[in-house]
């Protein structure tokens, strides 16, 4: 009986850890949005989440290195967005909208990215990879 209780506690502990890892509300303030304009420097197209790095002008003239987490590559493939859709903009100015980290670090959950050519990609669940094109 004791082994069953210990096993159950271990399973519950592991489940809580997995839930916390996959809960955006645990790390990010989903009630807030920040807009960061800067240079897209890198995209890590890896599991479990892609990561977008943007260098932006800081308040005191310094460069702030922002890190934005997003959905996994498989999610992007399902909505016909590939690595090249991000890679095309490396070195260019982008505007990123994100839910900021609760701890105030330069970290956020990617909601939308607007490219220099005026196109944008919505990444919030209700938009499901919706692409917008610039008005001509």
Alpha carbons within 13 A on the beta-carbon side of 42: 8
Residue 101, strand partner residues: 28
Beta-carbon contacts of residue 17 (< 8 Å; ≥ 6 apart): none
Q: Is 96 helix (H, G, I), strand (E, B) or coil?
A: strand
Tell me how far apart the alpha carbons of residues 91 and 97 are, in angstroms, rounded to a whole number. Answer: 18
Cβ-based burial of 134 (10 A; exposed 0-12, middle 13-18, buried ≥19): exposed
pLDDT reading at 134 higher than 80: no
pLDDT tens readout for residues 54-100:
999 998 889 999 999 999 999 999 988 999 988 889 999 999 999 99
| pTM for the predicted model, two decimal places | 0.76
| Alpha helix segments (H runs only) across 28-87 | 73-78, 83-87
Helices marked H in 23-98: 24-27, 73-78, 83-87
pLDDT at 48 over 50: yes
Lowest mean pLDDT among 95-99, 118-122, 130-134: 130-134
Q: Which domains does the chain have, with CATH numbers?
A: 31-122 (2.40.50)
């Amino acid at each position: 009986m004791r082994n069953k209780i210990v096993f159950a506690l271990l399973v519950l502990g592991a489940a809580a850890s997995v839930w916390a890892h996959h809960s955006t509300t645990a790390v990010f303030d989903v009630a807030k949005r920040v807009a960061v304009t800067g240079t897209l420097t890198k995209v890590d197209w890896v599991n479990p989440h892609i990561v977008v790095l943007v260098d932006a002008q800081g308040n005191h003239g310094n460069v702030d290195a922002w890190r934005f987490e997003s959905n996994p590559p498989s999610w992007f493939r399902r909505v016909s967005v590939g690595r090249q859709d991000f890679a095309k903009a490396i070195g260019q100015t982008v505007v990123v909208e994100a839910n900021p980290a609760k701890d105030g670090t330069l970290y956020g959950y990617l909601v939308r990215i607007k490219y220099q050519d005026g196109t944008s990609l919505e990444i919030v669940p209700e938009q499901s990879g919706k692409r917008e094109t610039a008005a001509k």
